[in-house]
Structure 1
Amino acid sequence: GGRLFARMGASVTAHARDQDVLTAAHGLVVGLDLESEGKLLDGFPLRTPGERWEFEGTPVSDGDSVYVLLRYHDEVRSQFHVASYSIESGRQRWQQRVCAAGMPSRGNWQEQTHYLLTLHEGTLFCNPGSGVVASLACQDGHLNWIVSYPRTVLEAGNARQTGQHVFRDLVPPLVDGSTLFCAPPDSDRLFALDLSSGRLIWQTAPGIAGDAKYLLGVVHDRLVASGDRLYWFDVYNGELREQFPRLGSRALDQPRPDPAGWGRGLIAAGRVYWPLEDKIMVFENGSEQVGWQRKQEIDLAVRSATGGNLVPLGNRLFIVAHDRLYAFQNDR
């Protein structure tokens, strides 16, 4: 407790082939002691092993170690490694190569990604947008299993052939019970894997909920995903049970639905909170015949706020918008 870890610095995780990596700025990982007014912990910040290495998303920690995804890039391909560092000294304990793959830019432009790890009961799960999902042991980085899935090709400059799934971000694998749910940015499918073996349990058909950018969680045997729309999937077979609004999916060059999502929602007390640009819609589960119903709307415009990613903390709700942070308190 009392420690904060963050990835900071340059946001580029893969440089264009014509860029000089020797002069490029790089990201770093900081560790702060919140009980000492944010003083840097010993051994921090963490720096990448070399000029072609970058840290990916925000680290995760179990209180003893901090774990982070590393990316090594050449002109065309990227390698992804998971590394463990001591919280007390910043010393690297282990580094495990997970995979190598061609990436969307193919070295033609910079990439800015933020792939996140999932930490669950001594195990790390990663899905770095490279056609694989992997499970690693926190103790020594041993690969428990690694599975592949069909990737979709990014058609640069062709909006009709590019699905909205390429914009998935901040969507680490989601653990619920003995199941791992995944929404990769390089696949137009959602799928569920067995947590212990990586065995495929189900996957959606191509294009189903292609605009879904976030996995919010599981409630009442439903996996809730959101993007332009809100989706409820059967956790056991992956069937799409409900969506809001009810109209079908769209291509990138088509208008957004009305209403349309505006950031990552959340699940709390059995309810789904879904942010729009000027309000938050609250859904509750009714009878089997009625399904999920809109029960409340929280007006953000009258509070001089906008939608964004929702983060609960105690009796407060934080909204992380594109250029500001809002905090609201529940007095009821």
Structure 2
Amino acid sequence: MIDLTARITRSTGLVGALAFLLFGASQVYGQVGEVVRPEFSLTVELPEIKNDTKNLLSQIDQHLQQKNWQDAIDTLNRLIGSHGDELIARGSDQVDLGSQYTYYVDLKSYLQRRIAEYSRQTPEFLAVYRQRVDPLAKQVLDQAKASRDPAQLAAAIDDYFLCSYTDEALLFLGDLLLEQARFNEARTAWERISPRFRTPDDPSGVLLAMPGQPMWVAVDGIDWSKHRNYIKQRLNENASSSPLVTIPNSNLDPASIWARLCLASWLEGAEDRARSELELLKQLYPDSQGYLGGRTTNYATFLARLIETSHGTLPGLSAKNWPTFAGDYSRNGHAKLVQAPGTYRPNWSVTLDAQVLSQSTGGSTIDDQNDQSSPLIAETEKALNSTFPIVQDRVVIVADEQRVRAFDLESGLAAFPTGGRVFDQTDLEYGAFYSAGRRVDFDFDSRRRGNMLSAMSIKFLHALGVPRFTSSTDGNMLVARVGTTAIGVPMFQAQFQEAADMVIFDMSKQGKIIARIPPVTELSGPWSFEGTAIIRGNRLYCGMTKSGVRDESAVACFDWTTSQMLWRKSLSITQPYGSGLVQEADFGHRSHNLLTLKDGVLYYNTNHGVIAALDAQRGETLWLTHYPRRALIPSTRLDLAHSLVQRNINPCVVTQGLVISMPLDCDRVFALDAATGQLVWQTVPGGIEPLHILGATGEDILVSGNQLFWIQLHSGKIRAEFPKEARSTRDRGFGRGTLVGDQVYWPTRDAVYRLNAHLSKTSQVVEAGSPVDLAQFGEEGGNLVVSGDYLIIASPSRMTVYSPASSDVLPPQAQESDTSSN
């Protein structure tokens, strides 16, 4: 049994002492100072500011010191125009011994924040600047507001951020975004109006959060009767603690902003945050009135009535479809639980393209009969859970490197006539409406008899990491990455592989191909797609890698209707895993990185040392966080090297203003502020080894591997685990579970457990129904999807769809606990 008390560190000044309390000083110093530096490089190169940029920054400082404000403004505009995309560090957190997070923004944002702070101290400069830009700024902002286009308005605000009309424009922008249910963006727009909407400096140690963190966390549970006047004073005097670029001076009523923040929290389903913000509003601005809910009203009274009498919208709720990995592009989908079935029975099944890990030339290093010898989590090297189904309009879709297949959800018949030529459900071509031909990842000796190389016992495409197959939809449009998932393979092997393209299908026209986008053109160099793209409207967003001695990670945007690349933003350069982790030979690696899209912002876990947020419309870097990487020590055992990069399909989960991540090169789960990229919490390094982030409830983030864990969403405290102790390997997790209404379905090798997603009042795990016994049907666990009445399980070698065998009422103890937890 694992000790739950030893798994959380917070971004506070006391964190450095936590390691001493948990492990003892000598052991911690040994971990930091005595670890032998591995051959695999941990360095990450970023597009940081260059020397000529630094020279221009010095010139701005000189002009400001000498009060040559016109020259300062000219240099500022020149610097932003020519170097605005370069990154500059804006701070770092030493959250425990040897673990440092460093935060970056683009130079344009850095300069805006710096000049805004200078303007608060030197109003004369601000007056000169506004006299110069206000006439044009008003015209541009009025036109942008009249368009009601958030992207156009946001661009205008960035161009004229220090003008006299920016606060009104930000208020209007936030309202527009709220209308579109883009809650994170709306909150950020309102918080930029003044630094008072983030936690201020707190010399008395009264507040419960670090300066710059969201204010609701700082006052959640505070004793207002003792600290009301102090908190109000600190907020009114707060001038620079916000990490956001904020207006130098604004006359807007702060109560109107807090009312909007509270309303947005309620609409998003973040009820704890809404209640905390409502209490702040009651305590600091009890009599403030304004226009809300279609009439002029007292803010606190209106919102209190709203929160107490109804629930907001739950995040990520999906009625019937499962359009992408994790259910939606925020990677926090919840399937709708139509009924509470007593159990399920198999309805139909089809064969999947079973995958195995690349082996050493001398054969496997693992005893195939002994799962315990395998270092993999929730799968084994001979039983990989590689396939992740999606559901669109009662059609189940699966893909692999060579084909895309579709089946009717109820019957299992091929969804399209083009897939009806093969009637054997055990045939891999059954249901295939697209097939690229022969498979490229094969053994010469077993599949190329008679070839001149057949005597060679080698495997094509030696690649490090587990193959994964995903796809995504938007309306009738489906996108799949078709071709090899191996990147950076040796030249000899590369000549035989088929580079993966993004292929777009129109599902309303029986899967007709309407676009095919290759990663490489004659001028672009050796780029590859990292994973399946996000398709949204006519845009396609995807991670990309440029292979070489060092790999370059980037995010790209295409117009798939023309195959034109609209932008590509490079983020970092690092050593590729394939050449660094296997000593015996030259290996490529398999990459399946997925983007996350939430409220117009793309979040990217590169798995190479950085998490980044980008504006989806313009491709501008909003922030980039360099997290602490774990030492990946090269090994002669290929199976151990595979295990180091097993967690290779792990996009960020974005919910309630947090970005939850667990990169494969990091030994912890952590949460970043979605608006700034700053660390909110992290689990203790090495405390848990999860494989999947399943999603979030209002209280917890659920992660799974050999066990299922509940991690408190806003603190990082591990509140529960299931099972508490695995009696055998058959009790361990096997595949990816899913959130279904207020339940979580979690698979093992022999069963699917159905548990309440919400813990009881005493933080206990409660069963929501009897486990689904898969072993009795000769089936096994795998990756789960629930659509309507049907449970879909993609195991290593087959996909089986289950239908309810019966419906019954939850057990009395489950009913009682489920009610109390809500």
Check 1:314–1:93 CA distance in 2 against 1; reply closer, same or farther (3 A cut): farther
Q: Secondary structure at the match of 2:558?
A: strand
Q: Deviations over 1:283-320 (max 9, x none)?
A: 12453225112342011123342111111223322111
Deviation at 1:169, TM superposition (A): 2.8
Deviation at 1:270, TM superposition (A): 1.3
Deviation at 1:267, TM superposition (A): 1.1
Matched, 1:203 2:676: no
Deviation at 1:328, TM superposition (A): 2.0
- The AA in structure 2 aligned to 1:136 is L
Deviation at 1:7, TM superposition (A): 0.4
Partner residue in 2 for 1:310: 784
TM-score by length of 2: 0.37
Report if the CA contact (8 A) 2:519-2:527 is conserved.
Answer: no
Report if the CA contact (8 A) 1:118-1:172 is conserved.
Answer: yes
Matched, 1:259 2:259: no
Q: Which has the higher strand share?
A: 1
Q: Which has the higher helix share?
A: 2
Partner residue in 1 for 2:567: 94
Partner residue in 2 for 1:147: 625
Matched, 1:268 2:747: no
Whole-Å separation in 2 of the counterparts to 1:5 and 1:199: 33
Matched, 1:28 2:521: no
Q: Deviations over 1:153-173 (max 9, x none)?
A: 222327899896632132210
Q: Secondary structure at the match of 1:35?
A: helix
Deviation at 1:234, TM superposition (A): 1.1
Whole-Å separation in 1 of the counterparts to 2:713 and 2:643: 23
Report if the CA contact (8 A) 1:155-1:161 is conserved.
Answer: no
Q: Determine which of 274, 289, 292 is the counterpart of 2:765.
A: 292
Report if the CA contact (8 A) 1:21-1:52 is conserved.
Answer: no
Whole-Å separation in 2 of the counterparts to 1:181 and 1:290: 21
Partner residue in 2 for 1:115: 593
Deviation at 1:182, TM superposition (A): 0.2
Q: Which has the higher contact order (CA 8 A, sep 6+)?
A: 2
RMSD: 2.5
Aligned length, in residue pairs: 322
Name whichever of 292-301 and 125-134 sits farther off. 292-301
Q: Deviations over 1:149-204 (max 9, x none)?
A: 01112223278998966321322100111111001011111000011111110111
Name whichever of 121-130 and 257-266 sits farther off. 257-266
Whole-Å separation in 2 of the counterparts to 1:140 and 1:158: 44
Whole-Å separation in 2 of the counterparts to 1:161 and 1:25: 28
Partner residue in 2 for 1:218: 696
Deviation at 1:147, TM superposition (A): 0.5
Whole-Å separation in 1 of the counterparts to 2:746 and 2:551: 35
- The AA in structure 1 aligned to 2:556 is A
Whole-Å separation in 1 of the counterparts to 2:694 and 2:480: 22
Partner residue in 2 for 1:252: none
Aligned-pair identity (%): 28
- The AA in structure 1 aligned to 2:658 is T
Check 1:202–1:44 CA distance in 2 against 1; reply closer, same or farther (3 A cut): same
Report if the CA contact (8 A) 1:245-1:258 is conserved.
Answer: no
Whole-Å separation in 1 of the counterparts to 2:492 and 2:526: 11
TM-score by length of 1: 0.89
Whole-Å separation in 2 of the counterparts to 1:313 and 1:273: 13
Deviation at 1:21, TM superposition (A): 4.3
Partner residue in 1 for 2:577: 104
Name whichever of 155-164 and 104-113 sits farther off. 155-164
Q: Secondary structure at the match of 1:302?
A: helix
Report if the CA contact (8 A) 1:245-1:257 is conserved.
Answer: no
Check 1:256–1:66 CA distance in 2 against 1; reply closer, same or farther (3 A cut): farther
Question: Gaps (5+ residues) in structure 1?
Answer: 249-254
Whole-Å separation in 1 of the counterparts to 2:763 and 2:714: 20
Report if the CA contact (8 A) 1:63-1:87 is conserved.
Answer: no
Check 1:256–1:26 CA distance in 2 against 1; reply closer, same or farther (3 A cut): farther
Deviation at 1:116, TM superposition (A): 0.6
Check 1:161–1:89 CA distance in 2 against 1; reply closer, same or farther (3 A cut): closer
- The AA in structure 1 aligned to 2:575 is G
Check 1:294–1:157 CA distance in 2 against 1; reply closer, same or farther (3 A cut): farther
Whole-Å separation in 1 of the counterparts to 2:667 and 2:631: 10
Report if the CA contact (8 A) 1:165-1:213 is conserved.
Answer: no
Whole-Å separation in 1 of the counterparts to 2:527 and 2:661: 26
Check 1:19–1:280 CA distance in 2 against 1; reply closer, same or farther (3 A cut): same
Whole-Å separation in 2 of the counterparts to 1:161 and 1:307: 24
